Amino acid sequence: MDNGTITIKGIFEDMLTIVNIFENREVLRSTYTPDYLPHRSDQVKALATVLVSALRGETPSNVLIYGKTGTGKTAVAKHVGKELERTGELYGIPSVVIYINCEVVDTQYRLLASLARHFDKDIPMTGWPTDQVYTEFKNALDSEKRIVIIIMDEVDKLVDKGDDVLYNLTRINSDLKKAKVSLIGITNDLKFTEFLDPRVKSSLGEEEIIFPPYDANQLRDILQERAKTAFKPSVLEETVIPLCAAYAAQEHGDARRALDLLRVSGELSERSKSAKVLEIHVKQAQDKIETDRIVEVVKTLPTQSKLVLLSAVMLNNVGDSNITTGEAYNIYKQMCRIIGIDILTQRRVTDLISELDMLGILNATVVSKGRYGRTKEIALSVPTESTSRVLFEDYRLKQLEGFKPPSQTKLYA
């Protein structure tokens, strides 16, 4: 690699000769649904107990599933759903399980449309009134006798845009003659039902299943299980799996994180041509995942948000440790003028700041400065150096590279 004698002809041979430590890398991706779910038999059983009435020809209760990210909610729901469909077929009871991710399908219209499309209805992307889509879906649904289970992942994403869909869906059974519907809502927001219409709340939450976070030991079991098929035998140093588990356990027991960590560790060790995955690789992986995430988030930010972030970064560089909204907004305005894009209102900019806060790029806390009013104090939670580098990759921000905010004349200490 660094002896400089590798010919172009040799590069692929060179890459192919590195020891491949993976047997099947896909197993470590979070999209992969394993057949065996360690430490989740209680939840599987609970869900199955509710849904079994479908096989008896009754409508199962609606279920609400709670749990933090990476606690296996989706995996369990999908797994049980698949089993139900299979068993239903065996017993001659037609049951359909529809899985919808409300993070992608996040409006009433889109939810109903994608449900209807499941029954081969042609619904345009947009244009129709919502109730027409609803009717269309209902008719398609009721065309034959069956049990339909709708799994709605991340339902909380749907609710803030109006919970009328949920209300309608919970009441749909009374409009149906042949088919029966039951709903499974999945959420990682424990306070989610607080904002729900009480009628929807009681109906959707007939049964509740809680998914507690995994502890380090359980995570270790999960990793061990997957590592068996993911890696070639004995390429992992013994400490690797416990370390991944420990790191992920700190992040509220996120199994997805643990798996990512293990996979990236493997990839890093592969790249460094090590025959084994070592502890050091896990540590590197931990850093890499975090920076990759930030770079990705910053890169895909809308221009306006980038500008807002940039103003904060610049103020920070000038040595202003507690940045207020007013200061940031001034810089933002100046920069907008320079590169000739529309200036948003301060109202909007506060929203953008809050969004950046949500994404974990900033930390904005409201503080009251008494006589001097109320403001948000902004602290960056990402390294300024690399952040501005990423920001300047945007061609529209390029010309701001030399821009220096005028040093603030502070009114107070």
Partner DNA sequence: CTTCCACGGGAACACTGGGGTG
Partner DNA sequence: CACCCCAGTGTTCCCGTGGAAG
Residue closer to DNA, measured from CB, 102 or 277:
102
In three-state secondary structure terms, 363 is strand
Min dist CB 110 to DNA, Å, is 5
- Ranges within 131-170 binding DNA (CB under 7 A): 131, 161
Residue closer to DNA, measured from CB, 154 or 270:
154
Binding residues for DNA, total number by CB under 7 A: 41
| Under rule CB under 7 A, residue 345 binds DNA | yes
| Under rule CB under 7 A, residue 110 binds DNA | yes
Alpha-carbon span 157 to 231, nearest angstrom: 36
User: Which of the stretches 89-97, 182-190, 363-371, 381-389 binds DNA when contact is defined by CB under 7 A?
Assistant: 363-371
Residue closer to DNA, measured from CB, 136 or 237:
136
In degrees rounded to 5, what are phi and psi of residue 100? Answer: -125, 130
| Under rule CB under 7 A, residue 129 binds DNA | yes
User: Which of the stretches 68-76, 124-132, 204-212, 386-394 binds DNA when contact is defined by CB under 7 A?
Assistant: 124-132
Query: What is the enclosing helix (H) or strand (E) of 135?
Result: helix 130-141
| Under rule CB under 7 A, residue 39 binds DNA | no
The two three-digit tokens of residue 162, written as one number: 């109006």
- Choose which of 93, 343, 359, 380 interacts with DNA (CB under 7 A): 343
Alpha-carbon span 46 to 68, nearest angstrom: 18
| Under rule CB under 7 A, residue 369 binds DNA | yes
- Binding map of DNA across residues 314-333, x = CB under 7 A, - = no contact: ----------xxx-------
| Under rule CB under 7 A, residue 380 binds DNA | no
**What sign results for the dihedral spanned by CA atoms 299, 305, 307, 313?**
negative
- Choose which of 198, 370, 402, 406 interacts with DNA (CB under 7 A): 370
Residues paired with 180 in a beta bridge: 147
Do 150 and 180 touch, CB atoms closer than 8 A?
no
Which residues does 56 contact at the CB level (< 8 Å), separation at least 6? none
Min dist CB 318 to DNA, Å, is 18
Min dist CB 185 to DNA, Å, is 18
Query: What is the enclosing helix (H) or strand (E) of 334?
Result: helix 325-339
Q: Which amino acid is at 309?
A: L
Beta strand residue intervals within 173-250, DSSP E: 180-187, 207-211
The two three-digit tokens of residue 391, written as one number: 């920001």
- Choose which of 59, 284, 350, 408 interacts with DNA (CB under 7 A): 350
Burial class (CB in 10 A: 0-12, 13-18, 19+), 91: exposed
| Under rule CB under 7 A, residue 354 binds DNA | yes
| Under rule CB under 7 A, residue 127 binds DNA | yes
- Choose which of 126, 234, 300, 407 interacts with DNA (CB under 7 A): 126
**What sign results for the dihedral spanned by CA atoms 73, 74, 79, 81?**
positive
Exposed e or buried b per residue across 139-160, where buried means at least 16 C-beta atoms within 10 angstroms of its C-beta: ebbbeeebbbbbbbbbbbbbbe
> Which of 77, 92, 87 shows the shortest CA–CA distance to 52?
87
- Choose which of 71, 74, 95, 108 interacts with DNA (CB under 7 A): 108
Min dist CB 112 to DNA, Å, is 8
Q: Note the residues at the interface with DNA (CB under 7 A).
A: 106-110, 124-131, 161, 302, 304, 324-326, 342-348, 350-351, 353-354, 366, 368-376, 412
